[in-house]
Structure 1
Amino acid sequence: MRTDQPTLPGVEAGRTTPRKISEGFSPARLTQARHLAGMTKKDVAERIGVSPAAVGQYETGSSKPRPEVIPRLAEVLDVPMPFFLGGRPMGKLDVSRAHFRALRSTSGAQRDRALGFAGQVWELTYALEKRVQLPIVDLPGFAGGEVHPGTELPSEPAAAAQALRRHWGLGDGPVRHLVRQMEVRGIVVVAPAPDESASKVDAFASAGLPRPLAVLTPNRSDDVFRHRFSGAHELGHLVLHASATGDSQQEREADAFAAEFLTPRASILPLLPRRLDLGQLAGLSRTWGVSVHSLVYRCRELGLISDATASRAYQRLRGLQAEPGFEPEPVSGFPGEQPVMLRQAYELAEKDTGLSVSELARELAWKPARVRELLGMPDSRPILRLV
């Protein structure tokens, strides 16, 4: 067991006191905890018995909560009391550096929760990277990349996708295990549980942290093909867009990147039917790991079918979506499309240094359940079933 981890400010011999936490209070940590809880300042104020103005002052740093307020804050926001201490690395991400798939339909509170989640993912990554050497970042154009950091990809989406495929040595065929390909290149990929706050937001990515991050939220149909397209879409944002404008043009560019990355024009065009054939497209769907819907779109995009034909095909697909060959394939059936880098890093640190979830939780000032959640580890507690 490691014993050389630094002691958090306000923590003496493993013991914290509200008074010391008040002295070492971090306004940014309160904001992060509130965002993660999906609460407004007024919500917090009502629950802890102070005014909304007081909570605002806590978050600006113009005043600190009194010691007796600290336990109430921790209980209301569902964090350990030491969470509010400063002095440890914090992942802070501005909305301008995060690309949300459906920005217009995403509320400010939802974005704040998602950004808080992304910050915690970075903090966990940072803690693990102190113990385990993670894959180096190999993403041309990413400022923190360690492989050819000065290399830039073309700005045109399809050309950028072709260049990245060449850079990663993927050839001209189907991309096997997209999520694993991203992780091997040092990109942190996480897939929140369906009830996690970040899962309420459509997939998003950020290049605003020391490592590129892609959050692939569960889609409503639990479809591995949609999951893969979301991954390629977020990859497109990472290589094409240094900042997020939230406009539809960036979303179209990321979609164009994803289509070319997963189904390169030169490879897929000879295989696509000249007359629409949904059965043939279903076969190609399995081979290339993309949905039939996206292949119909690709046919229209490449000029093989008209807009009217594509519209009729989408209508027919809605009627076929529960039929064999057309029904969604759960992501759980495809290990290569499920993130594993952070969990495997923890397991390696556990084996090599004796790291435990409890120790990691103390270092991060999180609850152990939060650590297990972000590592994608099942809850090991026995389940009580009442009959």
Structure 2
Amino acid sequence: MFFNPTRLEFARTKRGWTKARLAKELGLQVRSIQGYESGEYAPEPERLAIIGDLLRFPVDFFAGDDLPSIAPDTASFRSMSKMSATLRNAALGTGVTAFVLNDWIEDRFRLPEADLPDLSDLSPEDAAATLRRIWGLGESPVGNLVHLLESRGVRIYSLAIEAREVDAFSVWHRGQPFVFLNTIKSAEHSRFDAAHELGHLVRDRHSMLHGEAHSPDMEREANAFASAFLMPRASVIARKVGLVTLDKLIELKKVWGVSVAALAFRMNQLGLFSEWVYRNLCIQIAKNGYRTSEPSPMRAEVSQVLKKVLEALRAEGITRSAIARQLCLAQEDIDNLTFGLALSSVSAEDAGALASTEKPRSSSGGRLRLVN
């Protein structure tokens, strides 16, 4: 069997394994792993099977063509300073796996095309207001942000990494915007992460494509964009109350689908209460544990496109394990990219925005079409 050494390195780093760990598990010297990954020589079939079991990849995976890659400096990680190289490489590996799955899906389905303007010449506040105007959102709260982004051609995948250091990241791949969301975050924090990545996609595309996706200023401005996009100035000011208490914040946060901390910050930024009131609210938020556990939590947002795709495949008798076999991946990797969605029916609530369908591809060459 043909052996592609780049795929061994990819599988190892995606699982967060060092060469030393793999060598120890195989009873080899690190030099042997280096030889495998450099293409100097290939592992024997029996040893390759063991490697596949250890790294949870089918043996056929190692015979595929070179995979696409994501240069670390082109991905908009929010907290690079807190992230180890091992964790970063695992997250980037998830992104590459998503490209493979996405190509497979787009060979079979027609999905919304990318519709993201370049707003790099605008301030975060102005960019958020302009994008809302272009998309016809006015000052209304965004109902489901993931669905909105998907309707505008953004590919949304889940990032099943048990580490809060990786909030989310976005990247451009062959002219297509991708956003990856960490599934261990609260729904409110995940929405803010998605809006943050949207800010990068519309304001920092040039920097991302040219390997300059990281700077403190870019992160601050993406946060400012997310705050303004989710909580429009006029909308927040219109709901100004006399005495702002923590209980009132918990009630109001439901309007915009944000955390109490994010709402308190935005209201303070807009001058709706004094610095003294803001400091006291922050103390109460921290004291009640609301920095990590959100009060009155909202329902998590998941991909509607992937739900409808998986439903269409289920109707054709195509299971997740079958998809994994075709792509030479483990089923866990498919599940981890697709918010853990089962191949089950799409609820009526989730069927709204992407409602136009045709038959899935069959021997006659038909297609399912997902449109806004």
Match of 2:54 in 1: 76
Deviation at 1:178, TM superposition (A): 0.8
Identify which of 328, 333, 348 aligns with 2:312.
348
Which residue, out of 68, 89, 106, partners 1:112? 89
Q: TM-score, normalised by structure 1?
A: 0.78
Equivalent position SS for 1:293: helix
RMSD between superposed Cα atoms in Å: 2.5
Partner residue in 2 for 1:146: none
Question: In structure 2, do the counterparts of structure 1 residues 275 and 261 end up closer, same or farther at CA, with 3 Å as the change threshold?
Answer: same
Q: In the alignment, is the contact (CA less than 8 A) between 2:197 and 2:222 conserved in 1?
A: yes
Q: Compared with structure 1, are the counterparts of its residues 349 and 72 closer, same or farther at alpha carbon in structure 2 (3 Å cutoff)?
A: same
Does residue 297 of structure 2 align to residue 297 of structure 1?
Answer: no
The aligned counterpart of 2:12 is: 34
1:310 corresponds to which of 256, 278, 282: 278
Whether 1:237 aligns to 2:200 is: yes
Q: Deviations over 1:277-332 (max 9, x none)?
A: 4343333211121222212211221233344432221112234557xxx7140534
Query: Aligned to 1:127, which of 98, 104, 117?
Result: 104
Give structure 2 stretches of 5+ with no counterpart.
Answer: 344-372
1:130-279 paired onto structure 2 within 5 Å: 130-141=107-118, 152=119, 154-193=121-160, 196=161, 201-208=166-173, 210-219=175-184, 222-242=185-205, 243=208, 244-273=212-241, 276-279=244-247
d(CA) in 1 for partners of 2:243, 2:338: 46
Whole-angstrom distance in 1 between the partners of 2:155 and 2:260: 28
* Aligned ranges 1:80-95 → 2 under 5 Å: 80-87=58-65, 90-95=67-72
Look up the SS of the partner of 1:239 in the other structure. helix
Give a deviation string over 1:6-64, Cα, whole Å, max 9, x none. xxxxxxxxxxxxxx1xxx22222112111121100111112123322222232233333
Residues 199 and 218 of structure 1 are in contact (CA less than 8 Å); yes or no, is this contact kept in structure 2?
no
Whether the aligned pair in 1 keeps the contact of 2:23 and 2:30 (CA below 8 Å) is yes
Matched positions, count: 335
Q: Using the alignment, how far apart are the partners of 1:295 and 1:375 within structure 2? A: 29
Residue pair 1:187, 1:213 contacting (<8 A) in 2 also: yes
Maintained 8 Å contact 1:275/1:304: no
By how many angstroms is 1:199 displaced? Answer: 6.7
Amino acid at match of 1:62: E
Residue number in structure 1 paired with 2:26: 48
Q: Which amino acid aligns with 1:74?
A: G
User: Could you tell me how far apart the structure 2 residues matched to 1:27 and 1:198 are?
Assistant: 29
Q: Percent identity?
A: 33
Counterpart residue identity of residue 255, structure 1: N
Residues 192 and 263 (structure 1), Cα distance of their counterparts in 2 relative to 1, 3 Å cut: same
Highest RCO, 1 vs 2 (Cα 8 Å, sep ≥ 6)? 2
- Cα offsets for 1:91-136 (capped at 9, x unmatched): 4211111111221111110000000011111211111111111111
- Report the TM-score, using the length of structure 2 for normalisation: 0.81
